[in-house]
Amino acid sequence: MTPEKPTTTGPHDLALDPPPGCPAHVPGGLQRLYGPGAEDLGELYEQLREQHGPVAPVLLHDDVPIWVVLGHAENLHMVRASTNFTRDSRTWTPLREGMVKPDHPLMPHIAWQPICSHAEGEEHKRLRGAVTAAMATLEERSVRRYIHRASQYLVNRFCEEGRADLVGQFAEHLPMAVMCQILGMPEEYDDRMVAAARDALKGTETALASHEHVVDALSRLTTRRRAEPADDFTSHLIAHPAGLSDDEVREHLRVVLFAAYEATANLLSNALRMVLTDPRFLARLNGGEMTVAEAVEQSLWDEPPFSTILGYFATKDTELGGQRIRQGDGLLFAPAPGNVDPRVRPDLSAHMRGNRSHLAFGGGPHECPGQEIGRAIADVGVDALLSRLPDIQLDCDEDDLRWTTSIASRQLVALPVYFEPKPQQDVKLRPTHAPVPSQRTARPLHIDPQPAAAAAEPAATPRPGPQVPSDAPPRPADAEHPVRRPSAWRRFLAWWRGY
């Protein structure tokens, strides 16, 4: 694939670039994705697209060279071409040659692990087969019903206050509550587990201890379910014919928990922000022209949970987006710039109308196996929140919202809101805006342009109806106007949401 307009310098080659520390790595050389000049990665990606086309050479921390794939089609080609690109980082030239030190900031993402997301070939089939089979045992209606109840529980914690931070009090908690239930350890869900997961993913000084707290819980779960199977994800993972060892079970539980938690917390935050700040969404939601699921899908286009994912590695000399890719080169899979590729989205203000061809969940053999759970958490969670708090409003100017940005993701720090205080509800009840108004007993009156002519027309002869005995008991007032049965669409929504 080649860029729409050819680059002026011709195909780039990382192997021909100066070594790290060379003066060519300042303006005029490769662009760093960290430090000064990389504060706004979105703008930087567009500059790189203009300069190099859909695949651009860049530098990671410690000036480690890598390619960033900016084009939508090029990203899809890379993740699907398993004969040319692998997830096994042990083939990465800078890692083999010692350029990537053990204390590299991105080493947790770089280091190879014996998990399905890093495996290829038959080993990948064995490990991923166990994960996807365990996912398939989850009953969708039961999962959505639990998401709804967990959402109600979280809203109950702040609904009487009239104010809340939807990131810290809702978006960061709901995915963890749901994933702990799915994995089979609901007793492990608490504020500490949420704090540990967030801390472990932020790379702070206490990240290692936080990571151990989560892994210890998963180790206890693995041991318990090996001895006492139940109907949960962990038990089905253990029972799969692939015969995963305890270490393999624990490591896959860790990947599933962290990946699902981080991605869904970001997705939920972004979807809530868009609903609260974009007039198109709020008006259409209230007017019935856009479902919450469509708003979630639009968020996956505009603000994917992961901006880039490290990484893919070339197994042979090849070409991608007009660039010469050498065997051993590394590439960043980049959903954020790929989703705004002008070749697929010439007008970023246009609504995508449920289009699912975005890159938010990857593609090819390593496509996210739990994406429907993430969608369900965001869909049901946003719907439950808006139903309980229909008057919710942003409690600051949109320009005052703050983000933390890294190569991996762009995370909303807080989403302050206010609303009329509401009483707590039974978490098992379906939320409602207000009592449903009674049906009109008569049609509205209309002005007749020709009242005299209308009056001259003979009255219609009433149709005979069933005769009611004179001594029959009076009917209740509501009997004349019985409550209508919900429409087929309403009944379908109730079934789909698990209410």
Checking if the pLDDT of 24 tops 90, the result is: no
The count of other CB atoms within 10 Å of the CB of residue 428 is: 10
Contact criterion met (CB below 8 Å) for 295 and 282: no
- What does residue 330 show for φ and ψ, rounded to 5 degrees? -105, 150
Q: What is the pLDDT of residues 315-360, one digit of tens each?
A: 999 999 999 999 999 999 999 999 999 999 999 988 888 789 999 9
CA 466 from centre of chain: 58
Checking if the pLDDT of 482 tops 90, the result is: no
Checking if the pLDDT of 183 tops 90, the result is: yes
More confident residue, 11 or 209: 209
Burial readout 45-77 (b: 16 or more C-beta within 10 A, e: otherwise)? beebbeebbbbbbbbbbbbbbbbbbbbbebbbb
C-alpha distances out from residue 479 to 60, 280, 469, 482, 484, Å: 73, 42, 17, 5, 12
184: left (phi over 0), alpha (psi -120 to 50) or beta: left
Q: The dihedral of CA 278, 393, 167, 40: what is its sign? A: positive
Mean pLDDT of 32-55: 94
Q: How confident is the model at residue 350, as a pLDDT?
A: 86
Q: What is the pLDDT of residues 150-168, one digit of tens each?
A: 999 999 999 999 999 999 9
pLDDT band at 464 (very low <50, low <70, confident <90, very high): very low
Mean pLDDT of 35-49: 93
Radius of gyration of the chain measured on its C-alpha atoms: 28
Q: Is the peptide bond before 338 cis (omega within 30 degrees of 0)?
A: no
What is the average pLDDT score of the chain?
83
DSSP-derived letter for residue 252 is H
Q: How confident is the model at residue 139, as a pLDDT?
A: 93
Q: How confident is the model at residue 136, as a pLDDT?
A: 94
Name the percent of the chain in helix, strand, coil, to the closest 5: 45, 10, 45
Q: How confident is the model at residue 200, as a pLDDT?
A: 80
Contact criterion met (CB below 8 Å) for 401 and 424: no
Checking if the pLDDT of 446 tops 70, the result is: no
Contact criterion met (CB below 8 Å) for 252 and 365: no
Lowest mean pLDDT among 228-232, 304-308, 427-431: 427-431
Q: How confident is the model at residue 278, as a pLDDT?
A: 79
Mean pLDDT of 30-42: 91
Checking if the pLDDT of 449 tops 80, the result is: no
Mean pLDDT of 9-26: 44
